[in-house]
A and B are shown apart, each in its own frame.
Chain A
Amino acid sequence: MQNAIENAKCHVPVTLDIDGADETLEASVPPQTDPTEESIDLDAEAFVSPQDDSSHSESLVDKLNDQMMESVMISDSPNSEEEDVVPIDSLLEQNEEEEPKTPDDADTEERIEDVRNKDVSAAEPEEASGALFKEENEGEKIVQVDDKRETVAPDDPKPEAPKTQESALEMDSDSTPKDEAVPVCTIFSQGVQLKAQALIPDGFQPTLVKSPSFTIGNTETPNKLVPQVCQPSPSLSKFFTDSSAVNPASDFFDSFTTSTSFVSISNPNAESPKAAAPPESPLVSAPTAAGTYFTPVATKPQVAPAEPMNKLQAVFPSGDDPFGSALVTSDLDKRRDAWLPSEDTRRVLISVATQQVSPVQIDREQLAMPGLKFDNLQGDAVKDLMQRFLGDQAAMKRQVLSANSVEQNFLGLKRLISTKNWRAAVDLTGRLLTAHGQGYGKSGQPTNHTTDSLQLWFVRLALLVKLSLFQNAELEFEPFGNLDHPDLYYEYYPTVYPGRRGSMVPFSMRVLHAELPQYLQKPQETLDRLHRIKSVCQKILSNLQEGLAEDGSMMNLTQDNRLASIQLWRSRLSRVMYSMANCLLMMKDYMLAVETYHSIIEYEPEQRVQLLSGIGRIFLQIGDIRTAEKYFQDVEKGCQSKGKTCLCFCDCDVVHRAFVYLSQNNYADAHTCFSSVLELDPKNPVANNNAAVCLLYLGRLKESLGQLESLVHKDPALYLHESVLFNLTTMYELESSRSTQKKQALLEAVACREGDSFNVQCLKLV
């Protein structure tokens, strides 16, 4: 108890600081910081010891500057300027002689360079002649602010201060909210107290999942108000640490998540009033840890939340009736979950439904038995880079949310996603799935699926794809096969989901599953899978049009229902076609891609302009400028005929013209066009970036750089983007020999804004 509180105390400042950082992101930099002081600070950090840096210089140099041309050899002979034709052979020979020297020279050079820079910057901290120096200062300012927060934090009386756990020190720490005034916290601290007494120090994984319905109750309150979820209660932790083959964790977990899933998790926005119970509701103030955690049980308040664990468990197996009333499958669910299983799967499902076969008897090979294939991978590449280039001290200032610093539930997960901490979010999904019994090494073991567990899998896999960790995603997708195992359908669980039909696998997960192979050089597989999805979509649509239910059964749907369903499935169909077209484009099968994009217009008429314009760009990419122009004209005609005069359409007209100029090597006019877009819409990122690119081709490097730099400064939210940074760093490399320095300044800017999912490659530091 004492221990716990102490722990909490020492962690609180850190957590506060994390949120402090968040705040400063929104708030502009306070003016009172003293730039002089800081730039000294920065310089001290900016340059690591010379040896250190030179060790990087080689690898750095190896990978970078690809667009720089091969330098053959150097002759610095000041007097020999020959006009004559040098025979190529002789040049080449010289080249070969020169090359072996290269690394050494570069090394020593780097060292010298760094020492010099260090001296210079230390001596003249206020030099600030280039824009870059300013930038460094600004980055520093932000960090500086964080520091202040950090020191101030402990005394900060603000009650809404978030209680989140600090990542690095986590594992066995509990954060007990110190402020008892907040009702929610009270409950938690009580829970913790109880637990703390019985707490056995070892072996805990902070994997506990808070009940989804509880989460929902808090959705309206800002994140900061949500108290940290604490350690599992002893009984629970036993559950979760037990890795015996019986897998009780999953059994237990299933039972509680399923009960709430429709009401809360899968329909976060369609929550029932019960789930949205205010924090002071009796269930939340339940005195036992179990009660606090497993509020799902209490989605119906009359089910005593205070019941001890064993009793709860007892309730579940026989709990059909109490829940039956809650399980009103909404039309929304029915429409969303509809899917056509394969013939084999359908047979199994029918036999389960007619109770000819109990799920236990079903061959294991027919079941999906997923498990994490890797755990705790993630980390933060931005921080690693900072450590490498700016030193540990600077890296310390980098603070992002980690899986530990948010609520261990869907809400926390969403927070991680929206703050672009996708790596941490992957970690968190891993924990939540572990709690569900589908953790590391559990692949191949029978398990029960729920709406929630599949949503978690979907989020996890989607994030892995977003992070370009395709191999990992493929590995973890593998046990799901074709997403057609009988146990991935609601009908397989007639007691848990009475009356519910259709697929537990979200449609988006099917699309993701189909899209994945193309990133692993198997585009044909992607197309096959997409075609399979497409044919199911079409079949469902034709069922609906024939007056049947989605799955082809005779069922009376109301007209509204039918129309809504048709709309949903048409949009899904168009999503699949988009994926196909995108895949074909990646395969460079341009003609089919164009055809497919074209056919999407029928389904998404409001995207006609974007699609035609996109097709035009495809033709530009091929080099077929005439056809591209034809498409661009179509867009304009379409706009005119509709009489739309809004800004964006004028824009696209000008942007099209700019692209055509660009492909005619007429960079001057292209630049004028992009600039004229900016007059109407100064914040247009595309026009800004493209105008800068045109400037470079016009030989106006400094102007181009200036434009991009000022963009990144003025509106980092928009311009600290991969594409812009790629351009900026490329120009730094072209501009001077001090590009590394300037890139480091960018790194600092990135560090105080971007989450752990930032793709550091675009900084071209490594």
Chain B
Amino acid sequence: MQVKGQSSAADKMDVSQAKQEHLLALKVMRLTKPTLFTNMPVTCEDRDLPGDLFIRLMKDDPSTVKGAETLILGEMLTLPQNFGNIFLGETFSSYISVHNDSNQVVKDILVKADLQTSSQRLNLSASNSAVSELKPECCIDDVIHHEVKEIGTHILVCAVSYTTQTGEKLYFRKFFKFQVLKPLDVKTKFYNAESDLSSVTDEVFLEAQIQNITTSPMFMEKVSLEPSMMYNVTELNNVSAGIESESTFGRMSYLQPLDTRQYLYCLKPKPEFAEKAGVIKGVTVIGKLDIVWKTNLGERGRLQTSQLQRMAPGYGDVRLSLELIPDTVSLEEPFDITCKITNCSERTMDLELEMCNTRSVHWCGVSGRQLGKLSPSASLSIPLKLLSSVQGLQVHQTQTSSVGFYHAYIAEAKCSSQEILFSSQDVEMKSESE
């Protein structure tokens, strides 16, 4: 969002017009951070034609680093040379200078700076009291700061009122428009930790993709998840090696323009909420992401996402989980698994087990067996026997179909040699609600 040349034309005009009718001139400059001056080293060796001329010129140049003139990044600060971009979450700072261009003393000067956004109007002036008098060639200076919280058009409205020597009261205003842009693109995705066999944990993983959509590199100072009251959070963005933990992003502490980073968080329900499976259900609030970044010389920005909401996995009335399953099984040899069935409904269930073979996996046992009654929130573990007839790994993920049928899925295994095969199991449950 560069400010165009035309803008300064307008600015100039303001001043002139202000002067035609007004004794005071108002100037506004955005104070982004200064930048470090870079120079352009061109060197030669002693025995080249210019001899020591080039190096002498560089040594005399005040902007070079003494002793290491070939280093382009100097220490000289340069004031911002253009308006630049302003992003949501950054602080808008501006210098407001009211200068007495006339040769008479001006009295009772009141300078007011307001920021008009699409939804509100804020007063940014440091003080609202009038300055009693301003001599010729003197200035009233004010530096305003405002953390921008809205996207879109902002207008800085500067109003100056004063009294001339003749007692005439004068007033003028100037408007400065700028656009606030979005700095980051944040995408989130939830993963339910269903396959954790050690326990039914109800763990939720949050992957947050954060993309830098500005045009300058961004140092991500902090990207944290503030969980809602139901959860504890573990950040999975560090790998601890010994005492010092190392970021999963390596030594790259910053994000180049258009680069995306993935942050991962593990959320565990607090014990009091985890106990009852039915409590976390439907739409739940997980928490919000808090992002702090810095750019040139510590220019800071901070954003928080809105509350992240997650649809708790729909277990429906019955939830089937696997308690025990071997990693590898031998071909055509029966093996045991243990399933756990939980009644998530409010009613008592009468369960019947029906076994459906697939081409590769076969059940050992009687299909259509009654499992008995299961009261609400209760669960039942059932040991089952399976046989695999095909080598390899198969992943079956069947969806919950019509009421009463629950297709569970399982996929587990690793391969090490020919004799070992991967089996995948398919359990089909039939339940009848009473």
Contact = CB atoms under 8 A, between A and B. Distances in A.
A686 interface: yes
Given A113-B19, A701-B141, A75 B173 contact: yes
Interface string B168-189: 0111111111100000000000
A76 B21 contact: yes
A618 B14 contact: no
B67 interface: yes
Given A62-B9, A88-B118, A696 B79 contact: yes
B4 interface: yes
A707 interface: no
Given A75-B173, A109-B17, A67 B155 contact: no
A398 interface: no
B297 A663 contact: yes
A220 interface: no
A648 B83 CA distance: 35
A644 B45 CA distance: 30
B147 to A, nearest CB: 12
Nearest to A615: B73
B216 to A, nearest CB: 8
B314 interface: no
A105 B141 contact: no
B101 A689 contact: no
B82 A623 contact: no
A701 B72 CA distance: 29
Interface in B19-34: 19-22, 25, 27-31, 33-34
A764 to B, nearest CB: 9
B17 A110 contact: no
Given A623-B218, A702-B139, A110 B16 contact: yes
A475 interface: no
Given A58-B9, A88-B118, A99-B6, A66 B66 contact: no
Contacts of B71: 578, 582, 597, 610-611, 614
Contact of B97 (A462, A655, A734): A734
Contacts of A617: 36, 73, 75
A735 B27 contact: yes
A345 B71 CA distance: 34
Contacts of B218: 623
A202 interface: no
Contacts of B68: 604, 607, 610-611, 614
Contacts of A376: none
Contacts of A702: 138-139, 141
A74 B175 contact: yes
A662 B297 contact: yes
Contacts of B245: none
Interface residues of B, number: 119
Interface in A61-77: 61-77
A737 B19 CA distance: 9
B7 A624 contact: no
Interface string A73-87: 111111101001110
Contact of B298 (A267, A585, A623, A722): A623
B8 A62 contact: yes
A546 to B, nearest CB: 25
A664 B30 contact: no
B29 A69 contact: yes
B48 A76 contact: no
A623 B171 contact: no
B299 interface: yes
A336 B46 CA distance: 11
Interface string A685-717: 110011001001111111000000000000001
B256 to A, nearest CB: 7
B177 A95 contact: yes
Contacts of A109: 12-13, 16-17, 19-20
Contacts of B46: 269
A316 interface: no
Nearest to A691: B77
Given A71-B174, A624-B254, A410 B49 contact: yes
Contacts of B45: 336, 506-508
Given A92-B153, A701-B139, A736-B101, A588 B48 contact: no
A112 B20 contact: yes
B50 A459 contact: yes
A130 interface: yes
B151 interface: no
Contacts of A726: 78-79, 81
Interface stretch (B53-61, B375-383, B425-433): B53-61
B319 interface: no
B47 A332 contact: yes
Most chain A beta-carbon neighbours within 10 Å: one of B14, B41, B121, B136: B14
B330 interface: no
Interface stretch (B224-232, B288-296, B411-419): B288-296
Contacts of B161: 81
A644 to B, nearest CB: 13
Nearest to B80: A67
Contact of A648 (B10, B30, B66, B78): B66
Contacts of B76: 685-686, 689-690, 723-724
Nearest to A70: B7
A102 B296 CA distance: 34
B219 interface: yes
B254 A622 contact: yes
A70 B18 CA distance: 16
A113 B16 contact: yes
Given A585-B73, A622-B217, A465 B27 contact: no
A684 to B, nearest CB: 9
B50 A417 contact: yes
A582 B31 CA distance: 28
Nearest to A606: B67
Interface string A177-194: 000000000000000000
Contacts of B11: 61, 65, 68-71
B251 interface: yes
B323 interface: no
Contact of B9 (A102, A265, A511): A102
A730 interface: yes
Nearest to B299: A623
B345 interface: no
B327 interface: no
Contacts of B73: 585, 614, 617-618, 621
B397 interface: no
A268 interface: yes
A78 B171 contact: yes
B70 A734 contact: no
A68 B95 contact: no
B65 A70 contact: no
Contacts of A607: 67-68
B401 interface: no
A590 B79 contact: no
A462 B44 contact: yes
12 contacts: A66-B5, A68-B29, A78-B172, A88-B116, A88-B118, A91-B116, A465-B42, A508-B45, A512-B42, A693-B78, A721-B61, A737-B101
Q: Report, nearest first, the 8 A-B pairs whose CB atoms are least far apart.
A: A663-B298, A623-B294, A109-B16, A623-B219, A70-B7, A65-B8, A685-B62, A72-B175
Given A71-B176, A81-B161, A336-B47, 16 more contacts: A65-B8, A67-B81, A72-B155, A95-B175, A110-B16, A268-B49, A452-B49, A458-B48, A459-B50, A622-B254, A625-B298, A686-B75, A690-B77, A723-B76, A733-B29, A737-B16
Interface of A: 57-58, 61-79, 81, 84-86, 88, 91-92, 95, 98-99, 102-103, 105-106, 109-110, 112-113, 129-130, 265-270, 332, 336, 410, 413-414, 417-418, 420, 452, 455-456, 458-459, 462, 465-466, 468, 506-508, 511-512, 519, 575, 578-579, 582, 585-586, 588, 590-591, 597, 604, 606-607, 609-611, 613-614, 617-618, 620-625, 627, 648, 655, 659, 662-665, 685-686, 689-690, 693, 696-702, 717-719, 721-724, 726-727, 730-731, 733-738
